[in-house]
Amino acid sequence: MRATDVPGLERGIAILRLYRRDRTKLAPPEVAAELGIPRSTVHRLLRSLEALGLLKEDTEGRFALGAGVLTLGFEYLASLDLAEVAGPVLARLRDQLGCSTHLAVLDRANVVFIARYPARTAVQSSFGVGFTVPARKTRIGRLLLGEPLAEGYAISDSVSTGSLFPKGMVAISAPVHGADGAIVGGINATTVAGAFPDAAIRGGLKDKVLAAAAEISALLGAPPAKPRPRS
């Protein structure tokens, strides 16, 4: 779907693009004249953008960019930084395990994969950068939502109840933490179900995934993880 298929969206974006360093506030008549649309439509669009936190009105009835615009920008930059930091670690993990590796972040109620390092084999994961799924339908999504992890990792497969994971695949996921200790993303390593014995998946493979997640977290400035009590 193109932006031109949604006039309100296109016009809202056009309004935001009117702002510059030398033009930080705009009155509704200025917007109407600049874009050539009726004032009634302009007022409706400005109120919608204000409700979303993308604009704010001053006491003179003029509108400036709101904090919501900054938030969008910072979230985008944070995703880029996270992908850049995680990239070398995920590439090395892919080579160590012979599995495809991925980085995902939470976008409201969805998981979005923002980095992918495909296995150097004929069999690879079927989802790439931009792949989006409901968070609660995947283990990595529930991990990003803060679901408690008894051992700090999660295993997903295509036979899990309610799973949207690709058929015939299995993944080991671990959380990535930011400087404040909060979960900012998750990584996983995926392979064909049955490629490794269950003991190997729960042993050496998950340890390497956990180590990679810890390394990325450390690069982001996360505080050291507290040792887990031995059972």
Range of the domain at 141: 71-219
Encode pLDDT of 174-194 as tens digits: 999 988 889 999 999 987 766
Q: What pLDDT score does 22 carry?
A: 83
Residue with tokens 């059972």: 231
**124 in the same domain as 48:** no
- Quote the number of domains for the chain: 2
Which DSSP helix (H) or strand (E) runs through 47? Answer: helix 39-51
Sorting pLDDT into bands at 50, 70 and 90, what band is 35?
A: very high
Q: Are 209 and 172 in contact (CB under 8 A)?
A: yes
Higher pLDDT among residues 49 and 164, named by residue: 49
Sorting pLDDT into bands at 50, 70 and 90, what band is 5?
A: very low
Sorting pLDDT into bands at 50, 70 and 90, what band is 168?
A: low
Sorting pLDDT into bands at 50, 70 and 90, what band is 153?
A: confident
- The per-type count for the chain, helices as H runs and strands as E runs, is 7, 9
- Write b or e for each residue in 191-203: b if 16 or more Cβ atoms lie within 10 A of its Cβ, otherwise e: bebeebeeeebee
Encode pLDDT of 41-74 as tens digits: 999 999 999 998 899 999 999 999 887 876 666 5
Q: What's the pTM?
A: 0.61
**80 in the same domain as 147:** yes
**212 in the same domain as 128:** yes
Per-residue pLDDT averaged across 154-177, rounded? Answer: 69
Q: What pLDDT score does 122 carry?
A: 54
User: Does the structure show a pLDDT above 60 at 3?
Assistant: no
User: Does the structure show a pLDDT above 50 at 2?
Assistant: no
**Domain of residue 209, CATH code:** 3.30.450.40
Closest CA to 28 of 3, 49, 7: 49
DSSP 186: E
**203 in the same domain as 131:** yes
Which residues lie below 8 Å from residue 118, measured CB to CB, with a gap of 6+? Answer: 94, 100, 124, 125
Residue 229, domain member (yes or no): no
Percent of the chain whose pLDDT exceeds 90:
36
Higher pLDDT among residues 158 and 32, named by residue: 32
Residue with tokens 């050291």: 224
Q: What pLDDT score does 105 carry?
A: 92
Per-residue pLDDT averaged across 21-36, rounded? Answer: 91
* Domain boundary, last residue among 65, 84, 102: 65
User: Does the structure show a pLDDT above 90 at 94?
Assistant: yes
User: Does the structure show a pLDDT above 60 at 161?
Assistant: no
